[in-house]
Amino acid sequence: MVRESAANYRRAIQSNLMQVSIRGRNNKRVVLPDDREVVEFVNCSYLGLDLHPSVIAASKGVDPQWGANFCCARSRFSIEPQRQLEEELSELYGGRVVTFPSTSAAHISIMPLLASGILFDEVSPPKVTFIFDQFAHSSMQFLKPVLATEATVTTVPHNSLDALRIEVEQAKRRGEVPVYVADGIYSMGGLCPVAELMALAVELDFYLYIDDAHGLTIFGDRGEGLVLSQVAGTPERLILTFSLSKGFGAYGGGLLVANERMERLVRSYGQIYSFSAAQTFQAVNACRAVVRLHHDDVLPELRRDLRARVALFDELMGDPRPFSPIRMVQIGNEEEAISAGERLLDEGYFVSVVFFPIVRRNVAQLRLCIAANHSVEDIVGIVDALGAVGARPVAAEGLH
């Protein structure tokens, strides 16, 4: 994989398409190392909350008594503002929330505990079967070898409920507890069929482990995300992970479980929780500021702006589809995609160039993250530029 992709990575890096250190930022415009100013479509802060004055002010307002950091694992000490943040998030989303420095850290803490079976029964833990959606995020996929030391691990085609039903029924015949692993909004576009999945989970009695990193804050009346906005309460059979660094607009990650028993086990035995530090104090303050924004009238207007920008993009591209802030456009092979990214830079637009091994060979694409703080002119301009390089929309099933 490295040998085959190395030349493409080198070219993308040299062209300022990857591993770029921007020299300045003004809303959606950034300054590249070669002094070009471009409109970026890569930031996942879909509502622009990372630039909200109250969030910025909160991140700078750490009480001096806490210092810059408390260099200690959370199994020993957490600061009181961190506890308050978790209680505020628990109240906002329902269930019990545990926060982490990142969503990946949340996966590392809870997924091995799921594999052990103790989250289901501490006295007599059952054998578990993980059923991964083919496109589940790499932050979960890379744990497969760890999970396989104690659990059965298998994979089904993307969003295939028929294949999932077969795997669940086979697991139950073996006496194992099935856990389906998926994303809410997939990082390369496309949505999880939440309502159908929950109905199937109730029918067949299995669990859902869903990462709603890209859905939090931009869906739901209280910003609860794609998944929770389609279910009642926090079902016992749902374990949710999420990002505080994308639509939420601050920094960190977290998980939501239905009860205090699961929360206790994560806090006692979760790897990152037990042996590593928490979010930075600045991140905790910023997150609490975002929670406060959930309780005024700021977010509904920003969500409407985001949907309007996405709808305009889809209209101009001639490809209406279910709402998501992530849009993929197809180019061709790796060489063609990098060339397209270079030409877009020349036109003043920065998008993610996605090629093997991130996606299959010869289906390289451009990935756009559309945000509420993109202007109408930004959207019109990027669509015109995409047309000039021959890009076209790509269906979700053709992404990976």
Render pLDDT for 126-161 as a digit per residue (tens, 0 to 9): 999 999 999 999 999 999 999 999 999 999 999 999
Residue from 102, 184, 107, 183 nearest 147 by CA: 107
Structure confidence at residue 48 (pLDDT): 97
Quote the tokens at residue 162: 């028929």
Q: Which domains does the chain have, with CATH numbers?
A: 2-44+297-393 (3.90.1150.10), 54-293 (3.40.640.10)
How does pLDDT run across 172-213, given as a tens digit for each residue? 999 999 999 999 999 888 899 999 999 999 999 999 999 999
Q: How confident is the model at residue 400 (pLDDT cuts 50, 70, 90)?
A: very low
How does pLDDT run across 84-118, given as a tens digit for each residue? 999 999 999 999 999 999 999 999 999 999 999 99
Using DSSP bridges, classify how beta strands 326-332 and 177-183 pair: parallel, antiparallel or unpaired.
unpaired
Question: pLDDT at residue 233 above 80?
Answer: no
What angle separates helix 194-204 from helix 161-173, to the nearest 10 degrees?
20
| Cβ neighbours of 56 (radius 10 Å) | 14
Structure confidence at residue 396 (pLDDT): 45
Q: How confident is the model at residue 399 (pLDDT cuts 50, 70, 90)?
A: very low
Quote the tokens at residue 80: 């009181």
Single-letter amino acid code for the residue at 183: D
131 neighbors 155 (Cβ within 8 angstroms) = yes
247-251 average pLDDT score: 97
Single-letter amino acid code for the residue at 31: V
Residue from 116, 377, 130, 372 nearest 266 by CA: 116
Beta bridge mates, 26: 29
- Coil vs helix vs strand at 133: strand
How does pLDDT run across 296-329, given as a tens digit for each residue? 989 999 999 999 999 999 999 998 889 999 999 9
Mean pLDDT of the chain: 93
pTM of the complete model = 0.93
Per the listing, tokens 């939501």 go with: 256
Quote the tokens at residue 72: 């200690």
Exposed, middle or buried by CB within 10 Å (0-12, 13-18, 19+), for 93?
buried
Quote the tokens at residue 128: 């578990």
59 neighbors 258 (Cβ within 8 angstroms) = no
22-28 average pLDDT score: 96
Q: For residues 60 and 285, what is the distance between their CA atoms, to the nearest angstrom?
A: 8
Quote the tokens at residue 41: 């479509």
Quote the tokens at residue 367: 């990935």
| First-residue to last-residue Cα distance in the chain | 15
